[in-house]
Amino acid sequence: MSHAITNGFTEKFYGSTDGLRLHAGIYHPTVEDATRLPVVCLPGLTRNARDFHELALILSRDRAFPRRVIALDYRGRGLSDRDENKANYNLAVECGDVIAACTAFGIDRAIFIGTSRGGLILHLLAATKPDLLAGVIFNDIGPVIEQAGLMAIRDYLNRDRKPQSWSEAVDILKENHGAAFPALSLADWQDMAHAIYRERNGVPVADYDPAIAEQLKTIDFGNPLPDLWPQFENLDAIPLQLIRGENSNLLSRRTVDEMAKRHPDMLQITAGGQGHAPLLHLGDIPERIRMFVAKFG
């Protein structure tokens, strides 16, 4: 990945229903085909459209089935506006923003890829706008979130240490995630840093509203986290692929087994040497995703 992620896509902005200016990266296919379903990419809690750059290039430039790929920045992330009402950083509002993006870009049906929080949003879409979903790919997420995994996310997002250089940004990522991601090379860690941070005044800064991380401090882990099994049931007739990090602490094998029982046609991929959430451009994952997407013509 180029550390300056500027090639291969067009920057687009659209409006939320409450007036925010939201951002998307549009990857145009090598050959336009208006009948071919697009792919819409939804990132994790504090992540942004840059997570999907390499995969989006692969799918938009596929020799047999090139297609448009739209990667979104939620409100408060990446190049999207930050919300003055911090309570709006919630799944229901962000689900509404995804629907607004589809309307703005003329999408009435698509294949969706949801990483972590993006997959939770897809559960809500399955319950509220199922006709939008031609196919779904979950990246290390399901109807049940493991408390230990969410607590780990809370802790590392709210640590005080901030990088003063790009090399220090890489060091911090390796400290937080290295044990779960032995498959990553130095170049992979550098790519991750440039996807998560944006340079401001010569210093890498996390590319999201800090209020999003603050929200995690309010979760009462003394009570079980709510699950999304009723929403998952709405996916029973929708083609589904699940990617799980081999070392994931957010998506358990028990949950994966139950998902497979309730959706017997679900395709499964294990991202070897990766934790939560797997990088989608490594190993055989891009080809497996490409094959799944190609089924839609």
Whose CA is closest to 95, among 133, 135, 62, 59?
133
Q: What is the pLDDT of residue 161?
A: 84
Residue with tokens 């990857």: 27
Kindly state the tokens that stand for 114. Answer: 């949801």
pLDDT recorded at residue 4: 43
What's the pLDDT at 271? Answer: 98
User: Could you tell me the pLDDT band of residue 231, with boundaries at 50, 70 and 90?
Assistant: very high
Fold of 10-146+227-294: Rossmann fold (3.40.50)
Task: Using the predicted structure, report yes or no on whether residue 54 has a pLDDT greater than 50.
Answer: yes
> What local confidence, expressed as pLDDT, does residue 76 receive?
98
**Mean pLDDT, to the nearest integer, of 141-149?**
97
pLDDT at 6: 55
From CA 9, how far away is CA 24, in angstroms rounded? 10
pLDDT in tens, 99-108: 999 999 999 9
Which amino acid, one-letter code, is at 55? L
List the beta strands (DSSP E) in the chain: 10-15, 21-27, 39-42, 69-73, 110-115, 133-139, 197-200, 203-206, 240-245, 267-271
Position 3 scores a pLDDT of 42
Looking up tokens 């044990």 gives 179
- Closest C-alpha to 136, from 260, 26, 236, 250: 236
Cα separation of 130 and 238, whole Å?
Answer: 9
- The per-residue pLDDT for range 203-229, each reduced to its tens digit, is 999 999 999 999 999 999 999 999 999
Question: What average pLDDT does this structure show over 248-269?
Answer: 98
Spell out the domain ranges in the chain.
10-146+227-294
pLDDT exceeds cutoff 90 at 279: yes
Pick the more confident residue, 131 or 31: 131
Q: How far apart are CA 112 and CA 145, in angstroms?
A: 20
| Average pLDDT over the chain, rounded to an integer | 95
